[in-house]
Amino acid sequence: MNRDEALLAYVSRLGDNALVIGQRMIELVAGCPELEEELANANCALDYIGQARMFYTYAAELEGAGRDEDDFAFLRAEHEFRNLLLLELPNGHFGDSIARLVLYEAFYRLHLEALAECADERLAAIAARAVKEVRYHLRHNAEWLLRLGDGTDESHRRVQASIDGLWRFTGELFADDEVDRTVAAEFGGPDLAAIAVRWKAEVAALLEQATLTSPRDEGMVSGGKAGRHTEHLGYLLAEMQFLQRSYPGAEW
């Protein structure tokens, strides 16, 4: 894999992560527990869709094959998506959704901060833009984690189960592959091992503050980054891509 191929795969993967979590959050629109959370969720989802557009537009330019952001989002199949498994899991109940966002955004913030320092100017610029938004999301979602964890016995029990259930998908955040290693070596991209150390400390502190227990690293699963997905991604894509698949080239 040469540096150009690695950069394209890397940028496209960032787009996949942003699009898939953005789509999951869009599924929650009009289903949040209170009006303020409705505003928060929709605003944050929009940030992710905007980030996906920037990553995909750049990926399409790097590829130079005449595709655009919509081709990346709507006309690729499951195995071509390289998003993290954590992000494609169904929303579950509200505590599950919050737990997933805290675990991911604690990582994504560190990842974007490192990317903003990389040698590829365009990628660094997108990351610098996006990190300002993700810091805000994380602060908001961490407040919810605190309320749920340190709330009632019922909310504590349920959000602890959310964290426990999601934990095995967090190993993939730091499982580097040839794409990560090439971008790290050629463009000064993020060092996932270094991010893992900081993530573990920050997440442990957030959980402790919320009176929750950090699970043990057992039975970790991965595969999304290599195109091997859970059964859930297919359903997500089927709904999201329906219009372009049924009416190719439709515009509105």
Partner 1 sequence: MVSATPTRDEVWGWLGEVADPELPALSIVDLGIVREVKIGPGVTVALSPTYSGCPATEVIERDVVEALARHGVAEVAIERRLSPPWTSEWISAEGREKLRHHGIAPPERTIACPRCGSGNAVRVSEFGSTACKASYRCGDCSEPFEYFKCI
Q: Which residues would be at the binding site for partner 1 (CB under 8 A)?
A: 36, 39-40, 43, 45-51, 53-54, 121-122, 124-126, 128-130, 132-133, 136, 139-140
Residue type, 227: G
Q: Which is nearer to partner 1, 23 or 222 (CB)?
A: 23
Cβ 83 to partner 1 shortest distance, Å: 17
CA nearest 11: which of 105, 125, 104?
125
Q: Which is nearer to partner 1, 6 or 124 (CB)?
A: 124
Cβ 178 to partner 1 shortest distance, Å: 28
- Cα separation, 85 vs 154, in Å, equals 28
Cβ 16 to partner 1 shortest distance, Å: 16
Q: Which is nearer to partner 1, 74 or 136 (CB)?
A: 136
Q: Which long-range contacts (CB under 8 A, 24 or more apart) does 187-191 make?
A: 187/3, 187/7, 187/118, 187/119, 187/120, 187/123, 188/117, 188/118, 188/119, 189/10, 189/114, 189/115, 189/118, 190/110, 190/111, 190/114, 190/115, 190/118, 191/114
Q: Which is nearer to partner 1, 50 or 92 (CB)?
A: 50
Work out the widest C-alpha separation in the chain, in whole angstroms: 55
195 Cβ contact partners less than 8 Å away, ≥ 6 residues apart = 107, 110, 111, 114, 174
Q: Which is nearer to partner 1, 9 or 124 (CB)?
A: 124
Cβ 211 to partner 1 shortest distance, Å: 23
Cβ 35 to partner 1 shortest distance, Å: 8
Cβ 60 to partner 1 shortest distance, Å: 15
187 Cβ contact partners less than 8 Å away, ≥ 6 residues apart = 3, 7, 118, 119, 120, 123
Cβ neighbours, 10 Å, residue 239? 12
Cβ 196 to partner 1 shortest distance, Å: 26
Beta strands in 125-233, from DSSP E residues, in sequence order: none
Q: Which is nearer to partner 1, 45 or 163 (CB)?
A: 45
Q: Is 7 helix (H, G, I), strand (E, B) or coil?
A: helix
- Cα separation, 20 vs 7, in Å, equals 20
Q: Which is nearer to partner 1, 128 or 175 (CB)?
A: 128
